[in-house]
Each structure stands twice: as structure tokens, then as C-alpha cells.
Amino acid sequence: MADRFRIFQQPAKSILTRTSGFIAQAGFSHSLTPARNCTFGCVYCYVPTMGIYGGLKPDDWRRWGQFTTLKQNAAELLRRELRPPQRIYCSPLVDPYQPTEALQPLMPELLQALIGHPPQVFVIQTRGPLILRDLALLRELAVRATLRVSFSITTDRDDIRRLYEPHCAPVPERLAAVAALNDAGIAAQATLAPLLPCDPEALVDAACAVSPYDIVADPLHLRTVKRQGATTREQAFRIAEHHGHLDWFDAGFQRAIVAKMEDRARRRGRRFAIGPEAFSWLAQPNLPRA
Ligand code: SF4
């Protein structure tokens, strides 16, 4: 695994960033990004399209997924910057349980810092079953703050997962991780985003089976709909064209898929939303269970 990417370390000047855009609209006050560049390297990842606005260096967006730069003083900075009213999203720019976390862990020390100085809300956005390694610390934090795990499940088809996110864990393993978190008392949402080719109704059913919470989803971002800001990487379009999936990058088709999912969720007694409205549920101190 380590042959596929390199790991660098660098001290950072700060660790919490005031939010803007999508995450601010959702109600988060700060984001926490423990590293620059993500070694999951998903072909559609929005982050490299942000360039310098995401705090990236040119090498990050040119060689996305091939290395990561860990913020070596992240825990020390976090202890200094945490305040009780903060609603923190971790992270809009990197998966905190990316593959390098298994080799050079940052999260246990960051969770210790959060336990010592709890914010109001802390949301971990991940697709890494490695999060289960830190279950004991997560449980301790959940006693002191509103802790929520937003676990990305992008399709119900593992053949699709292998095309668009080959370095991420298989779909069944991810669903099992969501179930294990909820069984352990950690509020974990199956976040259906970005929506890759799938059976949309089966995907809603799978989310409902592993999580008692409402359904958060988001179709792939498109320049035709979203004129500015982060968007889907070009590489994803090339793969979609080759495999006959271009419908999934069409706004009208996406609306029809979302409508089907919403209908299925409603029949299952769950609320369903996309975009900042859906992500705002994650930022709420009290999230209703279905
Ligand atoms: S896990 Fe998230 S941040 Fe990392 S490459 Fe995939 S989409 Fe991008």
C-alpha cells in the first residue's frame, strides 16, 4: 500500500479554519483538516479543483492522491484553538481516515485533544473503516460533545466503486462500519454522496439498514449547475464516458434519481435531503432518530 503514495510532514500555523461556502451554509463554524492531499485519490474528488483556494500547492492538484502532507503539530494547535461553542466539520479537504492514517496515525491524538477541550459539535466525514480502531476514544468524546460520523457510501455496486474510488474499502465493508459505529453508540449516518451509478432505491434501503438517521445525499457536482467553486474532477468524466455512465453527470437525470431516492426514503419513514440542507442536519446538536 505504501508504494502507492508518499507521506510528508510539515508544521502548520493553525488547524481550525472559519468555514465558508457549502459547509458554512450547513451551519458549521469551523473545519479541521489534518493533512493536505488525500491518498484515497478518488477520481471524482472535488478538492483538487479548488486549487489554491483549498490551501493546496500546485503539486497537490497535479498529483492528487499520490502523497499527503501531515500537519505534524495538529494536536498541539488543536488544544490551543478549541472553544466550547464551535461546530466543527472534519474535513472538507481530506479524509481523516485516509490510508496514511494506518501508517502514521494523527487521529488518536486529535481525539484526545477534543476530549480535553470539547466543542459543541464534531462531525467526522470519512469513508475509512479504519475509524473503528478509535472506537474507545470516539465513545469518550461522544459523552462530552455531540459527535457524529458522516460515512460516505457512494453506490451499492462494488464494480462501480472499483472504477471511481479503487483505493477505498469495498461497499459491504463500509456499510458494516456504519452499523458497527451505531451499535457502539456512535451516531453514524450513511451519507450517500457523491452519488455514483447505483440502484438508487437499493442504496436508500442499504443506508436505512445500517443507520437509524435521516438520509443525507448529494449528486455529483456539475459546472452546468454550480458555476463556481469545487466541482467534479475531469478524470471521472473520462471513466464515465468509457463505461457508458454519462447520464449520471446530467442534471435532469440526477433530479430524477434524487426524486426516486426521496420517495423511497419517505416510504421508509426517513427524511431525505441533498446539498447544504442535508449537511445542516449533521451540524445540529440533536439529530432525531427515525
Ligand atoms: S476520500 Fe474524499 S477527500 Fe479523499 S480523495 Fe476521496 S473524495 Fe477526495
CA gap 48, 165 in Å, rounded: 15
User: What residue spans define the domains of the chain?
Assistant: 2-283
Q: What is the pTM of this model?
A: 0.96
What's the confidence (pLDDT) of residue 288? 66
Contact 153, 179 (CB under 8 A): no
With a 6 Å cutoff on the Cβ, whether 45 touches ligand 1 is yes
- Residue 1's pLDDT band (cuts 50, 70, 90): low
The pLDDT of 271-288, averaged and rounded, is 87
From 131, 103, 150, 139, select the one nearest 6 (Cα to Cα).
103
With a 6 Å cutoff on the Cβ, whether 78 touches ligand 1 is no
| Interval 53-111: pLDDT, tens | 767 888 998 999 999 999 999 999 999 999 999 999 999 999 999 999 999 999 999 99
CA 186 to centroid of ligand 1, rounded, Å: 22
- Residue 184's pLDDT band (cuts 50, 70, 90): very high
**Has residue 227 got a pLDDT over 80?**
no
What CATH code is assigned to 2-283?
3.20.20
The pLDDT of 234-246, averaged and rounded, is 95
Atom of ligand 1 nearest to the CA of 94: 3
Helix (H, G, I), strand (E, B) or coil at 168: coil
CA 269 to centroid of ligand 1, rounded, Å: 30
Give the rounded percent of residues in the chain with a pLDDT score beyond 70. 98
The pLDDT of 212-241, averaged and rounded, is 89
Atom of ligand 1 nearest to the CA of 91: 3
CA 249 to centroid of ligand 1, rounded, Å: 18
Question: How is residue 214 annotated by DSSP?
Answer: P
From 44, 16, 43, select the one nearest 30 (Cα to Cα).
16
With a 6 Å cutoff on the Cβ, whether 41 touches ligand 1 is yes
| Interval 22-54: pLDDT, tens | 899 999 999 999 999 999 999 999 999 987 776
